[in-house]
Structures are given as structure tokens and as C-alpha cells.
Amino acid sequence: MPMKRRTIILGGGVLLAGAGAVFMARGSGSGGAPISRHSFDWKASDFRSGGTAGISGELPEPIFRAEPQCIATLAQTLGPCHTSDVPIRSDVTDGVTGLPTRISLRLVEAATCKPVEGADVEIWHADARGVYSGEAAAMCNAEDAEARGTSFLRGRQISDANGIVSFLTVYPGWYPSRAVHIHLRALLGDRELLVSQLLFDDALSDLVYQGHPDYAARPVRATMNGGDTVFSLSEAAHFIFDFEKLDAGVLQASYTVGIAA
């Protein structure tokens, strides 16, 4: 059976998997303008709602760029919303609602492109309301006792022989002064390899926030990638997920993380 062609939206271009590839530089922007705004024919209704509970069967393997970003990924702050004792699990949602999203990260040595096997990779991010779970700083879930007593949208995985980890989650919500993002932390034994953050394409965020029912109660977001308060304008364009709409109505977000020596 011939390979089905899959279209991957890059940070600045399109990759047609199974039919050759076009590689383009990641986008750029200025001020608070969008970065990597794409035109695609998806609708919010093309994606599932309600979280990951309705997903059945295996999803296709994530696709990464044929030419890895073998440069060191920029380290960023751990942030005030990190917590300890995060469980190892592939589905990190704890039943929260949102557009189901699989986040796949490939860890490579920046100097050699060799996969980093056995790394303990942790992610965390806000829910559709822009709220974090757990016993974190007050700004992360102020006056939300239910959120403080849970651990939704937090999880860890161990990278495989190809340096890959994947998490089932939901599309992150936004909160003031920040572009749409997730946090990540990678350890190898007792050594901290990296703490960083990754962003989502502005056009994709517009599609989700303006049309998906799980985000309908939110006001218009205030901060695009070009106006983020953590990434500088020149940095932001290089930290945007590549993404794909899977047939199951799930969003696939992928990124190659370069680990410095």
C-alpha cells in the first residue's frame, strides 16, 4: 500500500511527507505582530473537542524534519508554575477539555545530531482557561483551589532510542503577557540538560481560539509571538512547533530539541 501523503506545516513552510519535502526558513515578525502566520484550509470543526477521552486506536508516528535543527535550543527560565513530583505518563490531561494535541519532541546532541536516549523529559502548560494546575505560585492559578489540588497538563516521558518522547494533551490556553507556549525540562541522570519553552503558530492559535468550542468563553488573546515577554522578537521565530492535522481530529505538534554539550 502506498504511503499516505501527510502535510506538515513548518515554522515558515510546508513539508509534504511521502512526496518529497520543501524546507523553508522559520518566519519572522516585528513588534506585537504575528510570527509565522500561515494560510491553510483547516477549520476548528476539523478537530475533536472535549479532550483526549474520545481518541481510540494508535496515532501515526510523528514526523520530524529530514534535516534536524542541530543547534543548541535556547535555555529559558523554569518559570513560577513548575511543580515537583510530576508523574511519568503519556496522557497528561487528567480529563480536562480542549482540542486534543499530541506533542512530540526529538532530543539530539547539538554538536553531532545524535539522538539523546534515556532523557527524562517533562512538560507543563496552562489549560484552555489559561490556568495551571498544582501547588505553584499564586499567579498560576489564583483563587482556584480545584486547580491547585490537581496535576493536569503535567507529565514526564523517557526518550527512546531515537531521542523521541510524545505526550497526549490539549491545546494550551493563553494568559496575559505571554504568547501561547509550553514549558519543557530534560534531565539525564542527575544532570539537567535543558529548561526551555516552545511556541505555537499565531494563525493556528487564531483558528483554535476563534472557532473551537472548548475555547469559546475566552476573550481575544492579547499577546502574539512577536510581542512575547520571555522570548525576544529575534528568538521567537525559531521556537515555533511544526504542526499537522491528523485524521483522528488530533493536532500533532513536533519539534527537534538540540542539547548543548
Residue 201: its pLDDT value, please? 94
Residue 14: its pLDDT value, please? 45
Q: What is the mean pLDDT of residues 171-200?
A: 96
Do residues 23 and 9 make contact, with C-beta atoms less than 8 angstroms apart?
Answer: no
User: Backbone dihedral region of 113: left (phi > 0), alpha (psi from -120 to 50 degrees) or beta?
Assistant: left
Q: What is the mean pLDDT of residues 14-42?
A: 46
Residue spans of the domains in the chain: they are 6-21+46-52+64-259
Q: Which residue has the cell 523517557?
A: 158
Half-sphere exposure of 55 (CA within 13 A, CB side): 27
Q: Which residue has the cell 475533536?
A: 48
- In terms of C-beta distances under 8 Å and separation of at least 24 residues, what long-range contacts does 108-114 make, across chains too? 108/68, 108/70, 108/163, 108/256, 108/257, 108/258, 108/259, 109/70, 109/258, 109/259, 109/261, 110/70, 110/71, 110/72, 110/73, 110/258, 110/259, 110/260, 110/261, 111/70, 111/261, 112/70, 113/68, 113/70
179 or 38: which leads in pLDDT: 179
Residue 29: its pLDDT value, please? 34
202 or 36: which leads in pLDDT: 202
Name the grid cell of 130.
489559561
Residue 15 reports pLDDT greater than 90: no
Q: Which of 1-15, 69-83, 85-99, 225-239 has the highest mean pLDDT?
A: 85-99
For 102-137, the pLDDT digits (tens) are 999 999 999 999 999 999 999 999 999 999 999 999
Share the mean pLDDT of the chain. Answer: 87
Q: Which residue has the cell 475566552?
A: 218
Q: CA end-to-end span of the chain, whole Å?
A: 42
Q: What is the mean pLDDT of residues 193-212?
A: 95
Provide the CA 98 distance to its chain's centre, in angstroms. 14
Residue 32 reports pLDDT greater than 90: no
Name the grid cell of 194.
535543558
Superfamily of 6-21+46-52+64-259 according to CATH: Aromatic compound dioxygenase (2.60.130.10)
Instruction: Please count the residues of the chain.
Output: 261
